[in-house]
C-alpha cells in the first residue's frame, strides 16, 4: 500500500491535469459566451445540462455516480457563471447625495424609530406615521424624503411586515444601522411595580420582555408602537396599567420609570433601515440587499447560494417569507457584502436575473456598525 505522501503526490499530479483541462474548458466557454451574445441566445440550457450530467454519471459505478454528477454539475455551473461575468450588465450609476429634508417614522415621538431617525438625520423634519404601511405611502408621495423602519431584532427576529412592504413597492434601502435597545417599564405617577396588572407595547417589545412579564404576572397587550403605548397609558392614567417603551417617553408623556432595562437579553439589538423611492449609492456603500423567488426545482436554493460562493461574495443574512396567495412558496431575502470595486457582483446579478423567475435589487447602501 502506498503511504500518504505518495498518494498526495499522485493527487497533485491529477489536479495539475484537471487544471489544464479546466483551462481548455473555460476557453471554450469564452467562445460560447461570444456566440450566444452575438446570436441573442440564453446562457442556461437546462435540458442539455441534464442530458450531459446523465451521460456523465453512467461512466461511473452506482457508488461513484452521485459524486461524479455533483462534480460535473459544479463545473457546468461555474462555466455558466464565467459566461455571465463576461456578458455582465453593470449596476446603473445612482445619485450619491443622500440629504433628505423630511423623514417619516412609525409611531409617535419617543419611539425607538424616532430616536434613530433623529440621530441619523438631525437636520431633517421628522414626521410620525400611523404604522409601517403609512411610512411607505408617505415616502412614495415625497421625492426628498426617507422612511426609518425597524427590520430585524436580535431577540424577536424579523419584522415581517417591513420585508413584505419593501418587496411589493418600488423602494430602495439607502442606509442601515443597528442600535442597542433597552426597554423601560413606564406607568402613571403613583404606580408601583406590585400594583401593575396590564402592560401595553408593540408585539416585538413584548416578545423581547416576555420572560420579565411572565415572572411578574403581567398581562401583555399589543399596541401599534412602543411610544403609542406610552401615550395611551399616560392618557388612561390607570395605576394598574403600564407600558414598555424607551426612557425618553417617560419625560414626553409624564410617566414614572418603574423598572429599567427589562429586556430578557442584555444584548438586545434592532436593525433599522432607511428607505427611499429612488436608489442612492453613497461612496461608502458596503452592503447589498436582494429579494428573489426560486423555481420549484430540486437544489434551486443550493445552486443560487453556490453562485455567491463561486463569485467570492460574502453572505451576511438569508431568510424567507411566504408569498401571499401561493401556499408553500417563498420569497427569499439576502444581504451580502458590497464593494464598488468588485465586478463579480455585476456578473452575479446578471446570473440571478437570467435564471430566476423574479429578482429585485432592494438597495446598495452603507450600514453602520452597532451603536
Domain CATH code at residue 71 = 1.20.59.10
* Annotated active-site residue in 177, 249, 270, 331: 270
Residues 218 and 354 in one domain: no
Residues 188 and 222 in one domain: yes
Q: How far is residue 333's CA from residue 159's CA, in Å, rounded to a whole number? A: 13
Residues 169 and 277 in one domain: yes
Show the domain range for 35.
Answer: 14-87
More confident residue, 86 or 135: 135
Q: How far is residue 338's CA from residue 315's CA, in Å, rounded to a whole number? A: 10
pLDDT of residue 371: 60
Please report the DSSP string for 222-277 in residue order. Answer: E-S-HHHHHHHHHHH--TTEEEEE-HHHHHHTT-EEEES---S-TT-EEEEEEEES
Residues 276 and 339 in one domain: yes
Q: What is the pLDDT of residues 212-257, one digit of tens each?
A: 999 999 999 999 889 999 999 999 999 999 999 999 999 999 999 9
Q: What is the pLDDT of residues 259-278, one digit of tens each?
A: 999 999 888 889 999 999 98
Q: Is the pLDDT of residue 370 over 80?
A: no
* Annotated active-site residue in 104, 132, 171, 272: 272
Average pLDDT over residues 190-209: 94
246: domain CATH number is 3.40.190.10
270 assigned to active site: yes
Q: What is the pLDDT of residues 34-71, one digit of tens each?
A: 898 889 988 988 889 999 999 999 999 999 999 999 99
pLDDT of residue 36: 87
Q: Is residue 264 part of a domain?
A: no
Q: Band the pLDDT of 137: cuts 50, 70, 90.
A: very high
Residues 166 and 231 in one domain: no
342: domain CATH number is 3.30.70.260
Average pLDDT over residues 3-20: 91
Q: Band the pLDDT of 148: cuts 50, 70, 90.
A: very high
Residues 282 and 359 in one domain: yes
Q: What is the pLDDT of residues 89-122, one digit of tens each?
A: 888 877 777 789 999 999 888 889 999 999 999 9
Total domain count, the chain: 3
Amino acid at each position: 500500500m502506498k503511504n500518504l505522501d505518495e498518494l498526495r503526490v499522485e493527487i497533485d499530479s491529477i489536479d495539475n491535469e484537471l487544471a489544464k483541462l479546466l483551462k481548455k474548458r473555460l476557453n471554450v466557454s469564452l467562445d460560447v459566451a461570444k456566440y450566444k451574445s452575438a446570436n441573442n441566445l440564453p446562457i442556461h440550457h437546462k435540458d442539455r445540462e441534464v442530458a450531459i450530467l446523465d451521460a456523465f454519471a453512467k461512466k461511473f459505478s452506482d457508488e461513484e455516480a452521485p459524486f461524479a454528477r455533483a462534480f460535473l454539475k459544479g463545473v457546468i455551473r461555474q462555466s455558466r457563471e464565467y459566461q455571465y461575468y463576461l456578458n455582465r450588465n453593470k449596476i446603473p450609476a445612482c445619485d450619491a447625495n443622500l440629504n433628505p429634508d423630511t423623514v417619516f417614522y412609525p409611531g409617535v415621538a419617543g419611539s425607538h424609530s424616532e430616536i434613530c431617525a433623529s440621530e441619523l438625520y438631525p437636520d431633517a423634519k421628522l414626521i410620525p406615521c400611523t404604522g409601517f404601511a403609512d411610512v411607505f405611502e408617505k415616502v412614495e408621495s415625497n421625492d426628498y424624503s426617507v422612511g426609518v423602519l425597524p427590520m430585524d431584532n436580535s431577540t424577536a427576529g424579523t419584522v415581517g411586515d417591513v420585508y413584505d412592504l419593501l418587496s411589493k413597492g418600488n423602494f430602495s434601502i439607502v442606509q442601515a444601522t443597528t442600535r442597542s435597545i433597552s426597554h423601560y417599564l413606564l406607568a402613571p405617577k403613583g404606580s408601583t411595580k406590585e400594583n401593575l396588572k396590564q402592560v401595553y407595547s408593540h408585539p416585538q417589545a413584548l416578545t423581547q420582555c416576555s420572560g420579565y412579564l411572565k415572572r411578574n404576572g403581567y398581562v401583555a397587550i399589543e399596541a401599534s408602537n412602543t411610544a403609542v403605548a406610552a401615550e395611551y397609558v399616560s392618557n388612561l392614567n390607570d395605576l394598574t396599567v403600564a407600558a414598555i417603551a424607551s426612557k425618553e417617553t417617560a419625560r414626553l408623556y409624564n410617566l414614572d420609570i418603574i423598572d429599567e432595562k427589562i429586556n430578557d437579553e442584555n444584548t438586545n439589538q434592532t436593525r433599522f433601515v432607511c428607505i427611499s423611492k429612488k436608489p442612492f449609492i453613497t461612496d461608502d456603500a458596503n452592503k447589498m440587499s436582494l429579494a428573489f423567488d426560486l423555481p420549484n426545482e430540486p437544489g434551486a436554493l443550493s445552486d443560487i447560494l453556490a453562485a455567491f460562493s463561486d463569485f467570492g461574495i460574502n453572505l451576511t443574512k438569508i431568510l424567507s417569507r411566504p408569498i401571499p396567495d401561493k401556499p408553500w412558496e417563498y420569497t427569499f431575502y439576502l444581504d451580502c457584502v458590497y464593494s464598488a470595486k468588485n465586478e463579480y457582483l455585476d456578473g452575479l446579478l446578471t446570473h440571478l436575473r437570467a435564471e430566476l423567475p423574479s429578482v429585485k435589487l432592494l438597495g446598495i447602501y452603507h450600514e453602520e456598525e452597532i451603536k
